[in-house]
Amino acid sequence: MNPFLDACRAAVGAAYVLAAPADMAAYLTDHRRRHTGAALAVVKPGSTDEVATIVRLCRQYRVPLVPQGGNTGLVLGSVPDRSGSAIVLSLTRLNRIRAIDPVNDTLVAEAGCILKNVQDAAAGADRLFPLSLASEGSCTIGGNLSSNAGGTAVLRYGNARELCLGLEVVTAEGEIWDGLRGLRKDNTGYDLRDLFIGAEGTLGIITAAVLKLFPRPRAQLTALAALSSPAAALALLAAARARCGDALTGFELMSDICLQLVQKHFPSLHAPFAQTWPQYALLELSDRESEQHATQLLEGVIGAAMESGLVQDAVVASSLAQSAALWRLREHISAAQAAEGKNIKHDIAVPISRIGDFIEDTGRLLAQAFPGCRLVTFGHLGDGNLHYNVSAPAGMTDDAFLARQAEVNRVVHDSVHRHGGSISAEHGLGALKREEVLRYKSPVEIRLQHVIKEALDPLKLMNPGKLI
């Protein structure tokens, strides 16, 4: 018998300590199924107190732990390495909505709450929780905050960090910090909340959060515009922001190959244009006045852009069904890529004004180094975040192409750096980019992060091998 696991069973119940390989399997493989780790056990506490007890036991027995929510990450941040020395600490049982305060526009959710359930709870109080991701039916609030998730509404509402007012955290020493304060102003010292958001579980374990809510819009309208270039998309973004202001809540960019792949692998999804164009922009307006007002705004933007030649063609959704159909084109890009074959993903950010130059420069460099490679470029143009993915040239096997991943990454990431960007916009670093980021961060920045890690987790038991 293992005294550490026996103590875990006593703390959370034997049914919630999984040690058999078959029981652990789903927790050990990453979302893209490219890495499978090993673990001593999967432990599933049911309360913050139980989380704290397990952390104290890990500290006592010097057992590393890997916090895990919905395990939807793409950078190996929520799965263990292959040593088998760590436990996976699954937070899925911490899934309660503790409180909703519609007057203060806040909601308190535990870390294991599914994002879609939080959205629904907010809607039930006639409020909006605007964080929206393709994985919202399975990702959790704790994971969203630990990776500082972005999504499609960052343009208007900000990343997960901007949507959180307070946290409850179990520290690396097994203490509970109750920072669940629903305050917009609190100048009483260091902002501990911001230390844990985006830290990928390397400093402590988020167990609950106070989240910001917003009034529900009276109308949401969507349009898809066909464009000749990324530069035209940037000009349309500027025009839409000038005319619509905060009503513009989404502006997604998609290259033509994105829609080609979607239509190839999901034949029921059709682009609404008679011909193809190099780029497409998906615009969403959320209006607090009326549907009529939103329609006037959106049709005004699109109409003026078509008259000036900025937009080549466009369709404005006239119903919820049409709007959903346009969004499905965007939402199925990743699945279409997966069906086409393995690809090399990049979650990057550059200043919005540099996106056109970045796409042109990087595309040219990749074409020179990897002739015939296909660039599947899409993402949140309004906040400078692109999913810049590279697929193998025709005739090259997936394995042969993936063997050159480091070379592809070097071209893309060096270009990102030259254009003043970041190699991780919203997915985090995890284990996948932990070493890569050292090429682009200054020694001062790296040293300060190590100082923080040493201060809060000197035993280095919290999600080892991730981020730092």
Instruction: List the one residue out of 349, 158, 314, 287 whose CA is nearest residue 233.
Output: 314
Cβ neighbours of 309 (radius 10 Å): 9
Contact (Cβ atoms closer than 8 angstroms) between residue 331 and residue 261: no
In order along its 468 residues, the chain shows pLDDT tens digits of: 699 999 999 999 999 999 999 999 999 999 988 899 999 999 999 999 999 999 999 999 999 999 999 999 989 999 999 999 999 999 999 999 999 999 999 999 999 999 999 999 999 999 999 999 889 999 999 999 999 999 889 999 999 999 999 999 999 999 999 999 999 999 999 999 999 999 999 999 999 999 999 999 988 899 999 999 999 999 999 999 999 999 999 999 999 999 999 999 999 998 899 999 999 999 999 988 888 888 888 999 999 999 999 999 999 998 888 899 999 999 999 999 989 988 999 999 999 999 999 999 999 999 999 999 999 999 999 899 999 999 988 888 988 999 999 999 999 999 999 999 999 999 999 999 999 999 999 999 999 999 999 999 999 999 999 998
Cβ neighbours of 406 (radius 10 Å): 9
10 Å CB burial of residue 295 (0-12, 13-18, 19+) is middle
Residues 6 or more apart from 408 whose CB is under 8 A from it?
344, 366, 369, 370, 373, 390
Which tokens go with 274? 């008679």
Whole-number pLDDT of residue 318? 83
Phi, psi of 51 (to 5 degrees): -60, -45
Which tokens go with 238? 């500027």
Terminal CA-to-CA distance of the chain, rounded, Å?
A: 34
CA atoms within 13 A on the CB side of 409: 19
Contact (Cβ atoms closer than 8 angstroms) between residue 327 and residue 222: yes
Q: What's the 3-state SS for the chain?
A: CCHHHHHHHHHHCHHHEECCHHHHHHHHECCCCCCECCCCEEECCCCHHHHHHHHHHHHHHCCCEEEECCCCCCCCCCCCCCCCCCEEEECCCCCCEEEEECCCCEEEEECCCEHHHHHHHHHHCCEECCCCCCCCCCCEHHHHHHCCCCCCCHHHHCCHHHHEEEEEEEECCCCEEEECCCCCCCCCCCCHHHHHCCCCCCCEEEEEEEEECEECCCEEEEEEEEECCHHHHHHHHHHHHHHHHHHEEEEEEEEHHHHHHHHHHCCCCCCCCCCCCCEEEEEEEEECCCHHHHHHHHHHHHHHHHHCCCCCEEEECCCHHHHHHHHHHHHCHHHHHHHHCCEECCEEECCHHHHHHHHHHHHHHHHHHCCCCEEEEEEEHHHCEEEEEEECCCCCCHHHHHCCHHHHHHHHHHHHHHCCCECECCCCCCCCCCCHHHHCCCHHHHHHHHHHHHHHCCCCCECCCCCC
Whole-number pLDDT of residue 134? 85
Amino acid, res. 465: G
Which tokens go with 83? 């040593």
Whole-number pLDDT of residue 271? 87
Whole-prediction pTM value?
0.93
Which tokens go with 413? 């990431």
Amino acid, res. 95: N
Whole-number pLDDT of residue 116? 98
Whole-number pLDDT of residue 1? 66
**Integer Cα distance of 150 and 425 in angstroms:** 8
**Integer Cα distance of 78 and 74 in angstroms:** 9
Phi, psi of 145 (to 5 degrees): -75, -40
Distances (CA, A) of 361 to 58, 317, 354, 366, 416: 49, 34, 10, 9, 10
